[in-house]
A and B are shown apart, each in its own frame.
Chain A
Amino acid sequence: MTANLRRRKLFSRVFEVLCALAVVVALIPLAMILFYVIKEGAGALNWDFFTKMPKPVGETGGGMANAIVGTLILIGIAALFAIPVGGICGVHLAEYPETKFSSAVRFAADVLNGVPSIVVGIFAYGLVVLPVKRFSALAGGVALGFLMVPIVVRTTEELLRLVPGGLREGALALGATRSRAVFSVIVPAALPGILTGILVALARVAGETAPLLFTALGNRFWSTSLTQPIASLTVQVYTYAQSPYDDWHRQAWAGAFLLVMIILTLSIAARLAVRRLERMNRP
């Protein structure tokens, strides 16, 4: 073996090791974040956290009942319009994948997905808060919904495309109209996957903080009104994290733990659903 070749092979080897190292380097923060969230958060999570209201400044104890309910209401509003809009849009893209219009919409959805969430928050502010001059749950929900639309669009499209082509042809061959074929055969076949995809999208927007700061604002009190400011887990964690109180820090970690657990569970569920669909698709 020539010296040159030996040098090349050494170089290759060094490079391969560096790539492996890159994986390790990236997994360190992941492990650390999960470790701290579990260590600090799991212990702080108790029954009170789910059922009690925040205590006044300076008192320890209490929980985030209002924020948990607030987050549920916010993502409920988001889901209410993001799922139909995103879902039907996804159906259109999957059914007419090659048209210019579809390419434009797909492109717009991808670009929208890259627009910072805080910018979308400003949009919701201008649309919902400004006209009535009041922060509200509705505004927060709308902001989250806008963020959710592109995710639902792309998830729905991708999952519909995984449905075996034979199913569609079978339905059409039996004389079904396009809409019937889609809604009675194709969508149901992909439904478990789409539903988990939607759950992941919900989990993702539930983790958003920035767009809520000036739409839903936050609320230390119990409120379920759509026209009033409302608390949310993320904004509460944000506020608590920046406070000087240890007990609030503890609760912030508990909130983070809850968020991470929800997201982990849902993303694992989604993964299993997609895998099942792919297996079904295999000949």
Chain B
Amino acid sequence: MTASVLQSIRSTTLESPSPPRFLAGEKVPKADEGAELAQDFVSARTPNEQTMTESKISVRNFDFFYGASKVLHGISLEIPAQKVTALIGPSGCGKSTFIRSINRMNDIIPEARATGAIMIDGQDVYGGDTDVVELRRKVGMVFQKSNPFPKSIYENVAYGLKIGGMRNKRQLDEIIERSLTRAALWHEVKDRLHASAMALSGGQQQRLCIARALAVDPEIVLMDEPASALDPLATSKIEELIYELKDNYTIVIVTHNMQQAARVSDRTAFFMLGKLIEYADTNAIFMNPKEKMTEDYVTGRFG
């Protein structure tokens, strides 16, 4: 896949691909200038240099096992704050296991075991003094298949707040409206907040799940193939949403869809067979991959 093809995907599918790859203070180019400029940027700098300023999650030599089988091998990477980081790779490459390790969702699976460290703001997720319940409030998650509770829309978004002990009705209303607005769902559901969430369309359900995750005010949002079960229109809505959310949240997204990674992410990590093969700015991964394997994968030679 050449750079220009990639750029055309970016600009056609996404309405306003305000390119994120600029340092503070630089002039942000208009959409139509993006193509050439991005090209210049990629060639002008080494991939890893720009976003390393502020790291939100830092992973060090992380291994993961299910019983006797090792599914992640010595993963090390820095995930920047307030950016979108995409994890790509063929099925079974470990990307899902990895993202689920960040908020320790894998704890639920018996015989799962981790070594190494995942640090969030300098605190080890797997450290003895980390409380997993608190961790998960800080690290929200959206799943591949939308999984609303069979309750009203309102109750879905309120769930995390209520188990956290919030009872104040006005406060709840306020946060629910804000969360639904941020998830770009408010206008569609504001008149039927107490209708069942199960009646929403697939895309709406997924945005509801995002609103539900946002309601507890996480710092990081993990998304495990959030659009893989949706039609193209719903997908593009979710993608727009991801793009907007990064102003406030650090986002990590697993996707099997390379165009999607290219469209929404700032940084991309390519996984294969449980190893991190390459990690760089998204442009670099897609236009100028260093590893042969990465190139083969992003150009669709295998997958």
- Mark A residues whose CB is within 8 Å of B: 1, 4-5, 8-9
B67 at the binding interface (Cβ < 8 Å): no
Measured between beta carbons, the chain A residues less than 8 angstroms from B163 are 8
Contact between B133 and A9, CB atoms less than 8 A apart: yes
Measured between beta carbons, the chain B residues less than 8 angstroms from A4 are 164-165
In angstroms, how far is the closest chain A Cβ from the Cβ of B172? 16
In angstroms, how far is the closest chain B Cβ from the Cβ of A45? 44
Complex CA–CA separation, A236 to B298 (angstroms): 79
B134 at the binding interface (Cβ < 8 Å): yes
In angstroms, how far is the closest chain A Cβ from the Cβ of B180? 25
Contact between A1 and B164, CB atoms less than 8 A apart: no
Complex CA–CA separation, A4 to B164 (angstroms): 8
Measured between beta carbons, the chain B residues less than 8 angstroms from A8 are 133, 163, 165
Which residues of B, 96-141, contact A by the 8 Å Cβ criterion? Answer: 131, 133-134
In angstroms, how far is the closest chain A Cβ from the Cβ of B51? 33
8 of the cross-chain contacts (CB-CB < 8 Å) are A1-B134, A4-B164, A4-B165, A5-B131, A5-B133, A8-B133, A8-B163, A8-B165
Which residues of B, 140-167, contact A by the 8 Å Cβ criterion? Answer: 163-165
Complex CA–CA separation, A1 to B164 (angstroms): 12
Measured between beta carbons, the chain A residues less than 8 angstroms from B165 are 4, 8
Complex CA–CA separation, A5 to B133 (angstroms): 8
Complex CA–CA separation, A9 to B165 (angstroms): 13
Complex CA–CA separation, A9 to B131 (angstroms): 11
Q: Which residue of B lies closest to A1 (CB)?
A: B131
Measured between beta carbons, the chain A residues less than 8 angstroms from B134 are 1, 5
Complex CA–CA separation, A5 to B136 (angstroms): 13
For the complex of A and B, list the 9 residue pairs with the smallest distance between their C-beta atoms, beginning with the closest. A4-B165, A1-B131, A5-B133, A5-B134, A1-B134, A9-B133, A5-B131, A4-B164, A8-B163
Tell me the interface secondary structure of chain A in the complex: helix
Complex CA–CA separation, A72 to B163 (angstroms): 59
Measured between beta carbons, the chain B residues less than 8 angstroms from A9 are 133
Measured between beta carbons, the chain A residues less than 8 angstroms from B133 are 5, 8-9
Complex CA–CA separation, A8 to B133 (angstroms): 10
Complex CA–CA separation, A4 to B133 (angstroms): 12
In angstroms, how far is the closest chain A Cβ from the Cβ of B161? 12
Complex CA–CA separation, A5 to B132 (angstroms): 11
Complex CA–CA separation, A18 to B33 (angstroms): 65
In angstroms, how far is the closest chain B Cβ from the Cβ of A2? 8
In angstroms, how far is the closest chain A Cβ from the Cβ of B128? 13
Q: Which residue of B lies closest to A6 (CB)?
A: B131
In angstroms, how far is the closest chain A Cβ from the Cβ of B221? 21
In angstroms, how far is the closest chain A Cβ from the Cβ of B285? 37
Measured between beta carbons, the chain B residues less than 8 angstroms from A5 are 131, 133-134
Measured between beta carbons, the chain A residues less than 8 angstroms from B164 are 4
Complex CA–CA separation, A113 to B196 (angstroms): 36
Complex CA–CA separation, A8 to B165 (angstroms): 9
Complex CA–CA separation, A5 to B165 (angstroms): 9
Complex CA–CA separation, A8 to B163 (angstroms): 9
Q: B17-30 interface mask toward A, CB cutoff 8 Å, 1 = contact, 0 = none? A: 00000000000000
Measured between beta carbons, the chain B residues less than 8 angstroms from A1 are 131, 134
Q: Which residue of B lies closest to A4 (CB)?
A: B165
Complex CA–CA separation, A151 to B1 (angstroms): 63
Q: Which residue of A lies closest to B163 (CB)?
A: A8
Complex CA–CA separation, A217 to B149 (angstroms): 55
In angstroms, how far is the closest chain B Cβ from the Cβ of A15? 14
Complex CA–CA separation, A8 to B131 (angstroms): 13
Q: Which residue of A lies closest to B165 (CB)?
A: A4
Complex CA–CA separation, A4 to B131 (angstroms): 13
Which residues of B, 281-301, contact A by the 8 Å Cβ criterion? Answer: none
In angstroms, how far is the closest chain A Cβ from the Cβ of B108? 14
Q: Which residue of B lies closest to A3 (CB)?
A: B165
Q: Which residue of B lies closest to A7 (CB)?
A: B165
In angstroms, how far is the closest chain A Cβ from the Cβ of B112? 20
Complex CA–CA separation, A9 to B134 (angstroms): 11
In angstroms, how far is the closest chain A Cβ from the Cβ of B286? 38
Which residues of B, 67-102, contact A by the 8 Å Cβ criterion? Answer: none
Which residues of B, 170-203, contact A by the 8 Å Cβ criterion? Answer: none
Complex CA–CA separation, A5 to B134 (angstroms): 8
Which residues of B, 10-44, contact A by the 8 Å Cβ criterion? Answer: none
In angstroms, how far is the closest chain A Cβ from the Cβ of B217? 15
In angstroms, how far is the closest chain A Cβ from the Cβ of B58? 24
In angstroms, how far is the closest chain B Cβ from the Cβ of A117? 37
Q: Which residue of B lies closest to A9 (CB)?
A: B133
Measured between beta carbons, the chain A residues less than 8 angstroms from B131 are 1, 5
Complex CA–CA separation, A9 to B163 (angstroms): 11
In angstroms, how far is the closest chain A Cβ from the Cβ of B87? 30
Complex CA–CA separation, A181 to B40 (angstroms): 69
Complex CA–CA separation, A9 to B164 (angstroms): 11
Q: Which residue of A lies closest to B164 (CB)?
A: A4
Q: A1-B131, A5-B131, A8-B133 known; 8 other A-B pairs, CB under 8 Å? A: A1-B134, A4-B164, A4-B165, A5-B133, A5-B134, A8-B163, A8-B165, A9-B133
Complex CA–CA separation, A136 to B133 (angstroms): 67
In angstroms, how far is the closest chain B Cβ from the Cβ of A14? 16
Q: Which residue of A lies closest to B133 (CB)?
A: A5
In angstroms, how far is the closest chain A Cβ from the Cβ of B143? 23
Complex CA–CA separation, A249 to B163 (angstroms): 57
Complex CA–CA separation, A4 to B163 (angstroms): 10
